[in-house]
Structure 1
Amino acid sequence: MKLSVILICYDMAREIPRSLQGLSRPYQIGAADLDYEVLLVDNGSPVPLDPQSWAHVDVPVVHIEIENAHPSPAAAINHALARAQGEIVCVMIDGAHILTPGVFNLAIAAFDMFDNPVVATRYFWMGPKAQNLSISEGYNQEVEDRLLEKIDFPSAGYRLFEVGTALRTANENINWMNRLFESNCFFMGTGFFRELGGADERFDFPGGGFINSDIFKRAVDHPDTTAVQLIGEGCFHQVHGGTTTNITTEERKPQLEEYLDQYEAIRGNRDIITHSTFSFLGHVPNDAAKIHRKRKFEY
């Protein structure tokens, strides 16, 4: 088997069918004949996922329900990693993300072009701003449903760039060459991820704290890997009430400090961002994907 996608979810009954559409055979370029699996891990949702909600989607799902699940997704990631059959593993710690159509094709191509690559996809928010801001201005699931209907998702997946915005830090002038500090969809060799130790279960906060950043940094900074960023592809975060993504900026600040304290206790420093050099691979599929351009967003 070529690829295993680890898709972690908690209380995402609305979002998961669309996330799976973004991982499906007809949607992902080159996936019609791809030997792959999506390990959909329900990490203790109060109401279990209903497989009938994605029965219409042509996607090879292995549905895993974690019993007595820990609020951190670390153990869920490791459970899926132990079961993964693919040569390559894709880690999606927040299952509410929708991919653009070329992610699989380009990521797999990177494994033929680079030595032991770690391939990262840029993070986007659904909606006009970071959701910590947009939800305070009226953005919600109903608005998001209308946006996805407006672009006729999933028939033209690159139109996601019309209804989303790239994750920014202090740098407001975003472009595809800005180095990623985190990704919610990144690929590496399955054997390498196992050798790396998988997810560190000391990251035990609900949602995992900085566990995603930790996995990404350890993989990218490893001396034997090549860091690769995809251009013209993205993963788009659906609004769902996430641990850090869908709370106000004021609520988020002390929470992030607590996460940083835990990271320092585990790693001995507070530097969660990789400083490695990236190679780039991709294209610009449409005008809306020219993310350096400022544009008015209407919904």
Structure 2
Amino acid sequence: MPLFRRKPLLSIVVIVYKMPEQADKTLLSLSPAYQQGIREQDYEVIVVENHSDRLLGAERATRHADNVRYYHRHETQRTPVHAINFGAAQARGRYVAIMIDGARMLSPGVLRHTLSAFKADPEAAVSAPGYHIGHKLQQVAVNEGYDETVEAGLLQSISWPEDGYRLFDIAVLSGSCQGGFFQANYESNFIAMPVKKWKALGGVDSRYDDFGGGNANLDLYKRLLEYPNTPFYMLFGEGSFHQFHGGVTTGTRKEERDRIYRALDDQDRALRGDNRTPPTVRPILYGTPHPSVYRFIRHSLDKVLPQ
């Protein structure tokens, strides 16, 4: 039976815009050759690319695996929210995972542990913590000369993609995940849930129409984790790793970034009616951490233990 006639368990929606080199690495990290302990027929990858002058294109999007579908859209707004909802509408799996930023590589056990968590509890929400490649947050490092060339050198230093877990050796926790593993963070770039729960939530709120979707991803994460009967499984031994690509909040200089943050937060308050707080949920830690993760476990303990 051809691969696309079989219904996968998990559909992964990846949004791409002006990041062909980074998206190519992300899709390699989603391939069955890189992900461990999962079969190609168990999942599908839905790539939705909003049109730009720097396209990934169908050929590159599908070159790492046969379970990838590619859609090219002409978006009239400066937000990925419509692309996300479009991509999720194409999903054939029982579960759907949202990756709002196509410049995020995954560690090799994310998909295996995601399906294992859903087997343990079909009503769960599952996410992987976020990291930035580099030794500082990229929104800080960009002011000190960090760019794609520096990042390429870091990836070469760990011989990526030979051992995907070595990404932890050249990364820091992202700003939204600074709280560590023992409390819910502000967001994740790998958010998975049952399709029926995605539909009950109404998908991503399409009113987030500002740069990069504004706080749409934080909003989805919070609404999902606080939805009734939704145990939260955090894949604390895995990660989602942000590649530098000149993005709105990580690739701009401080003055411009501060201005953009204020605009995004203003829209968030207008839509929500209050200030953004993290979800009021404690995670179930799931998986087996690689030794490279141990220093982040120590960091997480420091965040919750009395000094």
- After TM superposition, the score normalised by the length of structure 2 is 0.89
1:286 & 1:179 partners in 2: Cα distance? 22
1:155-204 deviation digits (Å, cap 9, x = unpaired): 10000011111124696xx6432432210111101121012101111100
Note if 1:179 corresponds to 2:184.
Answer: yes
2:66 & 2:243 partners in 1: Cα distance? 20
SS at match of 1:231: coil
Alignment partner, residue 25 of structure 1: 32
Map residues 33-112 of structure 1 onto 2, 5 A cutoff.
33-53=40-60, 56-58=63-65, 60-112=67-119
Map residues 1-299 of structure 1 onto 2, 5 A cutoff.
1-53=8-60, 56-58=63-65, 60-114=67-121, 116-168=123-175, 175-287=180-292, 289-292=294-297
Amino acid at match of 1:271: R
Could you tell which deviates more after superposition, 139-148 or 269-278?
269-278
| C-alpha contact (below 8 Å) 2:129/2:177 kept by paired residues | no
1:34-61 deviation digits (Å, cap 9, x = unpaired): 4211111101222332344356523521
What RMSD in Å do the two structures reach over aligned CA positions? Answer: 1.9
Question: Kindly tell me: are residues 30 and 209 of structure 1, through their superposed partners in 2, closer, same or farther at Cα, counting changes over 3 Å?
Answer: same
- After TM superposition, the score normalised by the length of structure 1 is 0.91
Question: Kindly tell me: are residues 124 and 77 of structure 1, through their superposed partners in 2, closer, same or farther at Cα, counting changes over 3 Å?
Answer: same
SS at match of 2:142: helix
2:116 & 2:75 partners in 1: Cα distance? 38
Amino acid at match of 1:281: Y
Amino acid at match of 2:151: E
Q: Which runs of 5+ in 1 are unaligned?
A: 295-299
Question: Kindly tell me: are residues 90 and 99 of structure 1, through their superposed partners in 2, closer, same or farther at Cα, counting changes over 3 Å?
Answer: same
Amino acid at match of 1:210: N
1:289 & 1:267 partners in 2: Cα distance? 37
Alignment partner, residue 5 of structure 2: none
Question: Kindly tell me: are residues 26 and 169 of structure 1, through their superposed partners in 2, closer, same or farther at Cα, counting changes over 3 Å?
Answer: closer
SS at match of 1:27: coil
1:257 is displaced (CA, Å) by 2.2
| C-alpha contact (below 8 Å) 2:62/2:70 kept by paired residues | no
Could you tell which deviates more after superposition, 224-233 or 156-165?
224-233
Alignment partner, residue 297 of structure 1: none
1:132 is displaced (CA, Å) by 0.7
Q: Which has the higher helix share?
A: 2
1:293 is displaced (CA, Å) by 5.5
2:207 & 2:278 partners in 1: Cα distance? 19
1:287 is displaced (CA, Å) by 3.5
SS at match of 2:235: strand
1:227 & 1:18 partners in 2: Cα distance? 28
| C-alpha contact (below 8 Å) 1:10/1:43 kept by paired residues | yes
| Total equivalences in the alignment | 292
2:293 & 2:254 partners in 1: Cα distance? 27
1:245-298 deviation digits (Å, cap 9, x = unpaired): 21233332232222122112112211242112221112221235432568xxxx
| C-alpha contact (below 8 Å) 2:176/2:187 kept by paired residues | no
Amino acid at match of 1:157: G
Question: Kindly tell me: are residues 220 and 178 of structure 1, through their superposed partners in 2, closer, same or farther at Cα, counting changes over 3 Å?
Answer: closer
| C-alpha contact (below 8 Å) 2:100/2:189 kept by paired residues | yes
2:191 & 2:98 partners in 1: Cα distance? 6
Q: Which runs of 5+ in 2 are unaligned?
A: 1-7, 300-307
Question: Kindly tell me: are residues 235 and 219 of structure 1, through their superposed partners in 2, closer, same or farther at Cα, counting changes over 3 Å?
Answer: same
